[in-house]
Each structure stands twice: as C-alpha cells, then as structure tokens.
Amino acid sequence: MIKAIPNMLTVGNLFLGIVAIMLAFQPDYKYVDYAAIMVIIGMLLDGLDGRMARLLNAQSEFGKELDSLSDVITFGVAPAFIMYVAAFQEMGMMAMFIVAVFPICGALRLARFNVQTGGNTGYFVGLPITAAGGVLATLALYHNLFSPVYLSLAMLLLSYLMISKIKYPNFKKVGIPKSTYWVAPILIVVVAVLGFMYPTQFPKIVSIPLFLYALYGVKKGLDHFRKKWKKTKVDDDDKVYHDSSL
C-alpha cells in the first residue's frame, strides 16, 4: 500500500488537471483563477511523486507512463484551455491552432524525455512541460494587461522552448531528507488554502519564479545564437583575408 503513494500523487495530479479544464469553462470568469490554482497544486504533486517513488523504491515503467499521461492533461491541455477561455475566444480559427500547438509540443517533449538514456544528467533538454504549463496558466491571468497577440506569441514561445534543445537545470540532485517527507501533505494543504483564500493574487505571485525559469532558457538560447553568429563572422573575415592575400 505504501508503495502505491507515488502513483496516488500522480493520479491526484491528473484529477486536478481535469478539474482545471472544467473550471475554466464555467460561465463565471472568476473560476479561471481557480483553474490556474489547480495547475499550481498539480505542479506540487508532480514534483513529489517522483521523489516519493525514489524514496520508497517504488519506481516502475507503469508509474513513468502514468506520470507522462497526467502531465499532458494537467500541464498541456488544461493551461491551453485556460488561456483560450481567458484571452483567445474572439480570435477564431487562429486561436484554435495556437491552443492546439501547445499540448502537442508538450506531448513531444515528454515522448523525447521518456526515450532519453543517460540517467540524471543534472539538466532537462527543453523546458519541462510542468514549468511551461505553470507559466501559461498563470500568464492567462494577465490577459487584461497584454493583448491576445502578445499572449499568442508567448504561448508559441513556450511551445518552442519545450521542444528545443536548450538545457534547463532539473534540481533532482537537491534531495529531501527522508525525515522531512511528512511535511509534504502539510505543504499541499497550505498551498491549497492560500490559493483559495487569495485566488487572484496567489497564482500571480507563483508566476514570478516560473517566468524567471522559462526566461533562463531564452537567455541561454540568445547567448548561443550570439556566440554562433560571432564565430561565423570571424570565420568569414578570415576567409576574406586569406582570399585577398592570394
């Protein structure tokens, strides 16, 4: 029974994703805030299930596949629908295409992760769908500040970052002492209570570290492009110099 705890956390994550989708489509717009909170709590469960599996020596292929399927729903489909309801409903067919791209890229990201070998390398290749979904779900709450065009571009950027080869730190080497795992259910309850007490403010506060994590990859990508461009320019200058000296 104890070894079933990681899968129970994963199923809880899946349940929250389904609830988030249903909340997003409620007639009262305030439920979009609660939908984003469901995604945030799902992120917490997703971060705990793998660690609990390693702690209890309960890792399995079944748990791995269940985790990926749950992530597609909670961090792929649910955030995309939240953004659609919050900002894209008047954009027509273009919005449907953009909304579909996000979970598709998330599924591709997870499929690539599942077939990768090499163990814990200390980094993820591409922005994890958990972080991308958290960013998108909370970004939707800023729809009054940004136009649908900017939000569309942000959504496409997140989609690209997931399938990119940019390396993101995975923090898996940051272990949690076995004696402190009893804090996990308390932490989940605290996050849930804060979320429901402050449904508008709490997701926006959580969005700050998520945005910074996503932007870390953008900076790395720009740095790589700049170095590659400089190297190409130097090679071209050398070629021109050698050609002129002949």
Give residue-wise pLDDT tens across range 107-161.
999 999 888 765 566 788 889 999 999 999 999 988 888 999 999 999 999 999 9
Determine the average pLDDT of the residues in 226-240: 66
The answer to whether 210 and 131 have CB atoms below 8 angstroms apart is yes
- Model confidence at 174: pLDDT above 60: no
Q: What percent of the chain has pLDDT over 70?
A: 86
Q: How far is CA 2 from the centre of its chain?
A: 28
Q: 147 burial class (0-12, 13-18, 19+ CB within 10 angstroms)?
A: exposed
Determine the average pLDDT of the residues in 88-107: 91
- Model confidence at 224: pLDDT above 70: yes
The answer to whether 131 and 166 have CB atoms below 8 angstroms apart is no
Please give the structure tokens belonging to residue 183: 């804090």
Beta bridge partners of 169: 123
* Between residues 206 and 16, the one the model is more confident about: 16
How far is the C-alpha of 54 from the C-alpha of 125, rounded, in Å?
21
Q: Positive or negative, the Cα torsion across 168, 14, 74, 23?
A: negative
3-state secondary structure 161-177: HHHCCCEEECCCCCCCC
Q: Show Cβ contacts of residue 66 under 8 Å, excluding neighbours closer than 6 positions.
A: 7, 10, 11, 14
The answer to whether 134 and 206 have CB atoms below 8 angstroms apart is yes
* Between residues 118 and 104, the one the model is more confident about: 104
Residue 104 carries which side chain, given as an amino acid letter? I
How far is the C-alpha of 25 from the C-alpha of 85, rounded, in Å?
7
Position 163 scores a pLDDT of: 94
Position 135 scores a pLDDT of: 94
Q: Please report which confidence band the pLDDT of residue 75 belongs to, taking 50, 70 and 90 as the band edges.
A: very high
Position 182 scores a pLDDT of: 64
Q: Please report which confidence band the pLDDT of residue 185 belongs to, taking 50, 70 and 90 as the band edges.
A: confident
Position 244 scores a pLDDT of: 56
How far is the C-alpha of 24 from the C-alpha of 83, rounded, in Å?
9
* Between residues 175 and 76, the one the model is more confident about: 76
Residue 212 CB neighbour total at 10 angstroms = 10
Which range, of 15-19, 191-195, 233-237, averages the lowest pLDDT? Answer: 233-237
Beta bridge partners of 125: 167
Q: What residues does each domain of the chain span?
A: 2-218
* Between residues 185 and 94, the one the model is more confident about: 94
* Between residues 217 and 35, the one the model is more confident about: 35
Q: Please report which confidence band the pLDDT of residue 181 belongs to, taking 50, 70 and 90 as the band edges.
A: low
Q: What CATH number labels 2-218?
A: 1.20.120.1760
* Between residues 166 and 186, the one the model is more confident about: 166
* Between residues 151 and 228, the one the model is more confident about: 151
Q: Please report which confidence band the pLDDT of residue 36 belongs to, taking 50, 70 and 90 as the band edges.
A: very high
User: What is the DSSP pairing of strand 167-169 with strand 123-125?
Assistant: antiparallel
- Model confidence at 24: pLDDT above 90: yes
How far is the C-alpha of 39 from the C-alpha of 229, rounded, in Å?
39
On the CB side of 168, CA atoms within 13 Å amount to: 24
Determine the average pLDDT of the residues in 47-54: 81
